[in-house]
Amino acid sequence: MKNILKEIEAKYPVDTILVNGEQVWPYLRVAYHVQYVNEISSRKGERPLGPSLSFLGKLKRLLNIPYGTKNWLGKYDYIAISTTDARKPISGKYFNRLLDPIIDKLGRGKVLYIEIPAPSLYPIASVYTNKVVCYDLLELLAMIVETFTLRRYKIENESILENINKDYDLSLDYLRVIKRFCARRTVFSWLFRMSKPKVVLLSCYYGLLQSAIRAAKEYGAEVIEFQHGSIGEEHPAYNVHADLDKGSFPDYLAVFGKKELETFTNSRFIQPQHVYPVGSFYIEYVKTDHMPSKNLVQRLKNYKVSIGVTLASTTESRLIEFVCQAAVLDRNICYLLIPRHPQEEHYSSFELPDNVMIVKDENFYGLMMLADFHATVYSTCAIEAPSLGVQNILINVDGLAKRFYGNVLNDSRVTRFADTPEEFVSIANSFEKLDRDTLAKLDEDLIAVNYERNIQELLRRPPFLEQQSVSGE
C-alpha cells in the first residue's frame, strides 16, 4: 500500500483540472486515496474505509432528520460539525471529546452543532451538546439539489483523471464526486446565509465537509479543524505535493502536540503559523477521573501481562490472525481486542484462543489505565497510549507500522516494533516497563500537557480573537 497521491501530484499537473474555472483536485484527491486503499484492502480480505450502508440503512437515516429540528432556526456565532464516534461517556452524557470543551468556552447557546451519524445517533437527551442537529437533513437536501440541477459540468483536462484511474486500476466516478460536492456546497451556503456564523469548527476536514469549508470561506467565515487522529508526514489528507487552491482546506488547525508542527514547516496545505498545539481534553480527563471496569480488573489478575490491541478496518483480520498466533505461544499473556465499533456482530464469528478477548465494556482510553502494553498497526492510539502511561509494541503488518511511526515513535524505551508473532511475544516478556509519569513526560512533544491552559491561549488567537473583539468579551 503506497502513497499514490504523492506519486500522482508529482507526475500530473493536477492543478489544471478545472470545472467552471475552479480546481477540483483538492477534494478529489482523498476520494482517489480512499478507493485505492479499499481496493488493496479488499484483495487482502479486509473491510473498506468509510461507511457502507445498505439500502435499508439509508432509509433508516431518514428517521434522523427530525433530530433537534428546532435548533436549525436562528443565528449562531459558530457552527461546529463532528461525528458520533467522537463522543465518550462523561457524567451520564455523551460528550464530544474534541469540540465540546471548546463549545463550553465559546458559549453553548452561540454554537450550532451538526452531528454526522457514525454509525448512528445517541438519543438527544443523552447528548451533552446543547444546540444539536443531525447532518442527514443537509445530505437529503444535497441529494435533491444534485438530482434537479440541470447545469452541465465541463471538466477541463479530464484526460488526467481518466489516466489516473487507468494507471492505478481504479474506477472512481469523479463526475459523481464533483456533482455531490457542488450540491453540498449549495446547501451549506444556504445554511451559512441563514445562521450567519463567523467561525466554523470541524473535527475532520476531508471528505464530505470540504464542501462546507468552501461554502464557509465564500460566505466569509473562517474554518478551524481540531485534530482527531494522527497526521504526520504519511497522512495523505494533510500532505499536499502540488500547488493547490486552499479554498477547500481549513484556515487553522489545532493539533495534539508540537511534533505535528514539523509536518507543516514547508506546507502546501496550511500556513505553519496557523497550527496550534493544544493537547487532548479526553486524555487528561481519563487520567484523573476514569473508573475502570471492576469485572475486567478481576479477569486480568489471571495473567502475567495484559496487552490492549487497537483494531482498524484496513488491517483488522490480519491483525487478529497475528494476535491469535502470538497468543498460543504464551498463554500467560492476555490480549484485549479493542474494535472501533464493538457493537458489530461479526466479531462473534472469530474463533479466538482463551487468552484473547473482544472488549465491549471499555474503550481504548479506559483500557490503557489497566493494560501493561498497547499494540496496533498504525492507529492514532499509538501516539496516545504513552501519554496515558503505556508503552507500544507495534505490529508491522505490510510494513505499515514502521512507515507511519518509524520516524515519529523512535524512542525504544517507549515503542518497539514486531514483524512476527514470535518477536512480539519476546518483546512483551522482556520490555522494561517505565512508570506512567515518565512515559507521559516522554510523550509531551506528541501530546501537549495542560489542555485547559492551551485552550485559553487558543481563544486569544485567530480565528477566535476577532470574534471576541467584536462582541466585546
What average pLDDT does the structure give for the chain?
93
* Residue the block writes with cell 502470538: 326
The per-residue pLDDT for 344 is 58
The per-residue pLDDT for 360 is 82
Could you tell me which residue, 150 or 348, shows the higher pLDDT? 150
Could you tell me which residue, 397 or 351, shows the higher pLDDT? 397
Q: Which of 134, 242, 146 is nearest to 186 (CA)?
A: 146
What's the CATH superfamily of 287-442?
Answer: Glycogen Phosphorylase B; (3.40.50.2000)
- In whole angstroms, give the CA distance from residue 385 to residue 392: 7
On the question of pLDDT at 141 being above 80, the answer is yes
What's the pLDDT tens digit per position in 294-343? 888 898 999 999 999 999 888 999 999 999 999 999 999 999 999 876 55
- In whole angstroms, give the CA distance from residue 136 to residue 179: 18
Please state the rounded mean pLDDT for residues 406-428. 97
Q: Which of 351, 363, 355 is nearest to 333 (CA)?
A: 355
Rg (CA), the chain: 23
The per-residue pLDDT for 466 is 62
Please state the rounded mean pLDDT for residues 146-168. 94
Q: Which amino acid makes up residue 344? A: E
Residue 290's pLDDT band, with cuts at 50, 70 and 90, is confident
Please state the rounded mean pLDDT for residues 116-124. 93
On the question of pLDDT at 472 being above 80, the answer is no
Residue 53's pLDDT band, with cuts at 50, 70 and 90, is low
- In whole angstroms, give the CA distance from residue 444 to residue 209: 30
What's the pLDDT tens digit per position in 355-389? 999 988 788 999 999 999 999 999 999 999 999 99
What's the pLDDT tens digit per position in 432-460? 999 999 999 999 999 999 999 999 999 99
Query: Among 181-190, 215-224, 228-237, whose mean pLDDT is lowest?
Result: 228-237
Residue 247's pLDDT band, with cuts at 50, 70 and 90, is very high
Cα dist. 247→157, 189, 227, 278, 387 in Å?
20, 14, 19, 25, 34
What's the pLDDT tens digit per position in 402-413? 999 999 999 999
Q: Can you give the residue ranges of every domain in the chain?
A: 4-54+136-279+450-471, 287-442
The DSSP secondary structure of 392-451, one letter per residue, reads EEEE-GGGHHHHHHTTTS--TTTEEEESSHHHHHHHHHHPPPPPHHHHHHHTTTTS-S-H
The per-residue pLDDT for 471 is 45
On the question of pLDDT at 55 being above 90, the answer is no
What's the pLDDT tens digit per position in 76-86? 999 999 999 99
On the question of pLDDT at 239 being above 80, the answer is yes
Q: Which amino acid makes up residue 282? A: Y
The per-residue pLDDT for 10 is 96
The per-residue pLDDT for 50 is 67
Q: Which of 359, 51, 360, 338 is nearest to 208 (CA)?
A: 51
* Residue the block writes with cell 492514532: 380
Long-range pairs for 416-419: beta carbons < 8 A, 24 or more residues apart: 416/391, 416/392, 417/393, 418/393, 418/394
On the question of pLDDT at 52 being above 80, the answer is no
Q: Which of 369, 407, 413, 410 is nearest to 391 (CA)?
A: 413
The per-residue pLDDT for 423 is 98
On the question of pLDDT at 114 being above 50, the answer is yes
Global pTM exceeds 0.85: yes
The per-residue pLDDT for 341 is 66
Could you tell me which residue, 464 or 347, shows the higher pLDDT? 464
For residues 199 and 463, the answer to whether their CB atoms sit within 8 Å is: yes
